[in-house]
Chain A
Amino acid sequence: MAIIAKIGQILNTPIKTGKVVKNSSNPFDPSTFKGSVLPADVFVSSKAKNKLKLSTFVGSIGDAFPTFRKGIESVAAFGKRMKEGFSSAVHKINEIGSTEISINFAGMGKAIKSGFTSMIDNYSVSKLRKNDPKTLEAMWKEVSGLNIAA
């Protein structure tokens, strides 16, 4: 009850009206409405004003808060959705970055390396097979050096 009385007291205090710049060219300019608030019940008689103000205020509390709560909830849900969307996007990017691209690069590098190695390697089995046993014997002697038992 005390709160309601206080609210009433606040609402009863005269509304400040600011100076209106008469020579303003733009009627919607913020400076035009400096400190001035137009009451909603301008055309209601002064006796009914207080009642109307209170009822409007109380009504607005009942109406505004659920709406406001809904608004907060929807903002939170939106944020959550955005977060999820962003994290999934990041996850996808990471996935692409760490698997497909890196594997392709690694495979490509490996293929180039093995191709290059087989090109310059005279000791690959496929190349050695083309030599006759005597040549292979000579190559074996050259590679093993002193390891042949006399």
Chain B
Amino acid sequence: MKDIRKIRNIIEALCLHQDPDSVRVLEEMGTNCSDDEVRELTARALIRKNQHDSLAVAITNKGKGINDMSTVVAMSTINELLALDNKEEALKILTDTVEMHSDEEVRENARSVKALMALS
């Protein structure tokens, strides 16, 4: 990794961007990165965007966001979800994931996070 500060700023800029293409860039570049720190920053940025597409990337994809193999990345994403001011869209996606997702593990994770969010 050459300069994590520059990458962090790029992720932050994409997080603040209104263009829907910013979600695609974050997903392709960030959630597929081999570096845990970059994946964590990206997942948190996707949650902070609080849009349907960005939340869906971090909630419904196996190996990304709350389903990341790294516990640190998964926990950070869950923390970011819990810290949202408006949880409505996130709860809707979690409900849909619990009910309709094909993967059992993803469904279980979504159920746990949904329960946590209901308690918070």
Whether A129 contacts B32 by the Cβ 8 Å rule is no
- Chain B residues touching A, majority SS: helix
Whether B32 contacts A148 by the Cβ 8 Å rule is yes
A111 CB–B CB distance under 8 Å: no
Whether A128 contacts B35 by the Cβ 8 Å rule is no
Give Cα A68–Cα B33 distance, bound, in whole angstroms: 91
B29 CB–A CB distance under 8 Å: yes
- Chain A residues touching B, majority SS: helix
Chain A: residues with CB nearer than 8 A to chain B? 123-125, 128-129, 131-134, 136-137, 139-141, 143-145, 147-149
Query: Shortest Cβ distance from B37 into chain A, in angstroms?
Result: 11
Q: Among the listed B5, B16, B21, which residue makes an inter-chain contact with A129, where contact means beta carbons less than 8 Å apart?
A: B16
Number of interface residues of B (CB under 8 A): 25
Whether A147 contacts B38 by the Cβ 8 Å rule is yes
Using A133-B24, A136-B14, A139-B10 as known contacts, say yes or no to A147 and B1 having CB atoms under 8 A apart.
Answer: yes
Q: Among the listed B2, B5, B25, B33, which residue makes an inter-chain contact with A149, where contact means beta carbons less than 8 Å apart?
A: B33
B13 CB–A CB distance under 8 Å: yes
B34 CB–A CB distance under 8 Å: yes
- Could you show 17 A-B contacts with beta carbons less than 8 Å apart? A123-B3, A123-B6, A123-B9, A123-B10, A125-B9, A128-B9, A128-B12, A129-B16, A133-B14, A136-B17, A140-B7, A140-B10, A140-B25, A144-B29, A147-B33, A148-B29, A148-B32
Chain B: residues with CB nearer than 8 A to chain A? 1-3, 5-7, 9-10, 12-14, 16-17, 19, 21-22, 24-25, 28-29, 32-35, 38
Contacts of A125 in B (CB 8 A): 9, 12-13, 16
Using A125-B16, A148-B33, A149-B33 as known contacts, say yes or no to A143 and B21 having CB atoms under 8 A apart.
Answer: no
Q: Which of A123, A140, A145, A149 has the most CB of B within 10 A?
A: A140
Q: Which of A124, A125, A149 has the most CB of B within 10 A?
A: A125
Whether A134 contacts B10 by the Cβ 8 Å rule is no
Whether A136 contacts B25 by the Cβ 8 Å rule is yes
Query: Shortest Cβ distance from B1 into chain A, in angstroms?
Result: 6
Q: Among the listed B10, B22, B25, B28, which residue makes an inter-chain contact with A143, where contact means beta carbons less than 8 Å apart?
A: B10
Give Cα A144–Cα B9 distance, bound, in whole angstroms: 13
